[in-house]
Amino acid sequence: MSNEIVMYGPDESLIGQLRDAAPDGVEIQWVDSNQDQEESARALSNTRAIILGGAIDFEVELAAKCPELRLIQTTSAGTDKLDKAALGELGIKVSNNGGGNAVAVAEHTIALMVGVYRKLHLQFQNVQDGKWMGNIRPDWFSQAHELTDKTVGIIGVGRIGSRVAQRLQGWDCNLIYDDIVDPDPELISRLGLTKVDRDELLSTSDLITLHVPLNRQTKGMISDREFELMKPEAVLINACRGPVVDEQAFIRAMESNKIMAAGVDVLEVEPTPENNPLIDMDNVLITPHLAAFTQEAGVKSRAFAMYNSNRVANGEEPESVVLPDD
């Protein structure tokens, strides 16, 4: 039986779903990541493409013992756990999920915006406590806002950021963006986006939403200086990666009311410690890093993983390759 495509992970929980997503005639085997490195190397000796089963690493030392390996494929958007530079020196490329979860994360981003503006987490808490209109603190009403007509600053307009912009068009928002790459001009025009520099975006946006990968350039990109630039009524949304925001600076900003509120799906350390002060702040809505997890996103991500791995198994170049520092 062919072993050119492998799911590498601690258990077989995903193998059935990957097989369901495989093109006709394409086979995939499971190799246990819990076994020792020498056993893994023997099992992967003729493997050309590996699909990582879950948020696990793939050690460069093991990759060096896999002479046929040409692709490490993730079913997530993030690839920061993989040493792409060292793997590249071995002739191994890394690909992410090709935007399989982009719609899910974009929709979750909008949910965070609305949730923060309408304080849905606090409203739900009140219902659980048996409190209704007459018993709710009046300042919660004074801090409730509409998304319509707000200026939304999007940092990163790739697969997810562009879909956030597309969905915000129906909310009659003023959309501005900053990106280190130049997106397709036709896309920018169609989405009604206006390019501004980073400092202008931070200082003029009512809502700032982050959609960048985690790498050396983006780690801590939102810190004390950036919070100082934001308006007191600004809202920060982060559904990309936790370390993109300097968490201690984040805590300081929220404690001192530098900005009005925040909605985040990610934090610097996950699970976050129980004593993290952000958890108990009324002006912070936190979800547990589940923005990408929908049934539809899973189907699309697994289908792309199988498609891309099959390309490499057939001697073709992979798509959605993530370069070092990207």
pLDDT in tens, 290-302: 999 999 999 999 9
pLDDT of residue 132: 85
* Whole-number Cα distances in Å, 147 to 105, 171, 267: 18, 7, 24
Cβ atoms of 151 and 196 within 8 Å: the answer is: no
From the list 108, 159, 163, 289, the catalytic residue is 289
Residue 279: phi, psi to the nearest 5? -60, -35
Distance of alpha carbon 194 from its chain centroid, rounded?
A: 23
How far apart (Å, rounded) are the C-alpha atoms in residues 244 and 262?
Answer: 14
Give, in words, the CATH class of 102-286: alpha beta
Comparing CA positions, the residue from 289, 253, 282, 237 lying closest to residue 268 is 289
* Catalytic residue check, 270: yes
Sheet with 93-95: strands ordered across: 29-32, 5-9, 49-52, 71-73, 93-95
Every domain range in the chain assigned CATH 3.40.50.720:
5-100+295-313, 102-286
pLDDT in tens, 2-48: 569 999 999 898 899 999 999 888 999 999 999 999 999 999 999 99
Helices and strands (H and E) in the chain: how many: 13, 12
From the list 38, 270, 316, 317, the catalytic residue is 270
**Among residues of the chain, what percentage have pLDDT more than 70?**
97
From the list 226, 241, 247, 302, the catalytic residue is 241
154 DSSP β-pair partners: 177, 209
| Average pLDDT over every residue of 176-181 | 95
pLDDT of residue 56: 73
Which residues 6+ apart lie within 8 Å of 137 measured at CB? none
Give, in words, the CATH class of 5-100+295-313: alpha beta
pLDDT of residue 80: 87
Cβ atoms of 48 and 287 within 8 Å: the answer is: no
Axis crossing angle, helix 102-118 with helix 295-313, rounded to the nearest 10 = 150
Q: Provide the whole-model pTM.
A: 0.91
Q: Which two tokens stand for residue 11?
A: 């258990």
Classified as helix, coil or strand, 290 is coil
Question: Residue 1 above 50 pLDDT?
Answer: no
